[in-house]
Amino acid sequence: MKPYLLLFFIILVFCQTNLFAQIGMSNNNPDTNAVLDLNNISGSTIQGLALPRVSLSSTDAATPLSAHIAGMMVYNTVANGSGDKQVVEGIYYNNGSNWVLISSSAFLPWSLTGNSNTNSLNFIGTTDNTDFVTRTNNIERLRVTTTGKLLINTAVTPSGGSNAKLIINNGTVAGGLMIKDATEGLGLMNEGKVFTSDANGIGKWTAPSLYLSNVLPTMEPNPKIFPSTMTSSWAYTNNKITLPPGKWLLNVNFLVSPFSWMGTNETNWLRGIFSDSSTTIAPSADVLSSSPYVSGISTALSHDYNLLGDLIIQNTSNVNKDYYFCIGNMTNNNVSTTNYISGISSSSYSYIIIQKIN
């Protein structure tokens, strides 16, 4: 019995002397601040620490543990879950209610000072059906929605913006958008410029320009003659304009010629309209002006006179539309049958200036 008592005494002494000491593995001099020191000071054996390998199901599930334990650390070997609860392969610690990723070979966090060795597959954003939001001072400033809209200073699409891809909401403060370019200029004479693009889509600030549609008339095979019994009739002049969707201001100036010089006591008053048809002639309902006519008067002894005026036409369709220029509805005074309209001059004196307006 004595040998066994001696062995028991030696073990008891050893336990008592090391009960409150540090444990050193692979070394005999553990750091006094460490409960467990794995440092190998001799360098003879290089080994690492292998964490428990587990299969986590999601960040909010304790599985395979029975409960969340703050400070628990594991190495997850599988990718599971979805959305913001997804787990990937890597080291996780538990904060008492969730698993938090420390590092992963499949997932590296973006650094506050930027990342290197990136490629075209790297991105900042979401992988589920959730908007991507950025904040400053903990206030949302920008949102990219799951449908591809870019919202600035708003988290919701305002009324009327269902088809817009870029929405800037500056609230009640004017000046929500500023585009600086070398072409905008400075000073009073550069105000009112519009931002336009060239054929390649390159934008620049330019002064609003007039679109000059030099509509030179083409005479019909048989000139339009208006006998006194047909003063209320209309005739198509073989001239038309094509307007895209939108609202347009037209400045019309056509040079009209009678068959011969007007007499000393002869005058006539002629009107022009834009019709939706070249056959069923009537003023187009798209003309927004208070009067749908342009007009001109031939005075005594005149040979030519101008049919002119301004009209506003709004094409409310979604396609380009043709408008046919017609003349007629003449009022005459002592005009002989030889002095009715011969036609419209096909010279540069006849033109239509077209300008896009709001």
- Provide the Cα torsion 53, 57, 62, 64; round to 10°: -50
Q: How far apart are CA 152 and CA 299, in angstroms?
A: 63
How far is it, in rounded angstroms, from Cα 244 to Cα 48? Answer: 74
Contacts with 274 (C-beta within 8 Å, 6 or more apart), sequence order: 241, 250, 283, 284, 287, 292, 311, 313, 323, 324, 325, 326
Q: Is the separation of the CB atoms in 314 and 292 below 8 Å?
A: no
User: Any idea of the CA torsion for 93, 94, 95, 100, to the nearest 10 degrees?
Assistant: 60
Res 4: pLDDT: 53
Q: What distance in Å separates the CA atoms of residue 333 and residue 337, rounded to the nearest whole number?
A: 12
The span from the CA of 14 to the CA of 142, in Å, is 66
As given in the structure block, the two tokens for residue 221 are 């095979």
Q: What is the pLDDT of residue 44?
A: 62
Q: Residue 155 phi/psi, 5° resolution? A: -100, -5
Question: For position 9, what pLDDT does the model report?
Answer: 52
Is 157 within 8 Å of 146 (Cβ atoms)? no
- Can you give the length of the chain in residues? 358
Token representation of residue 184: 């905008």
What pLDDT score does 52 carry? 93
**Chunked in runs of 10, what are the mean pLDDT values of the chain (358 residues)?**
52 49 61 77 70 94 95 93 85 94 68 79 86 94 94 92 92 86 72 80 77 52 50 79 88 80 76 92 93 86 83 92 87 69 69 82
What's residue 214's pLDDT? Answer: 52
pLDDT the model gives residue 1: 52
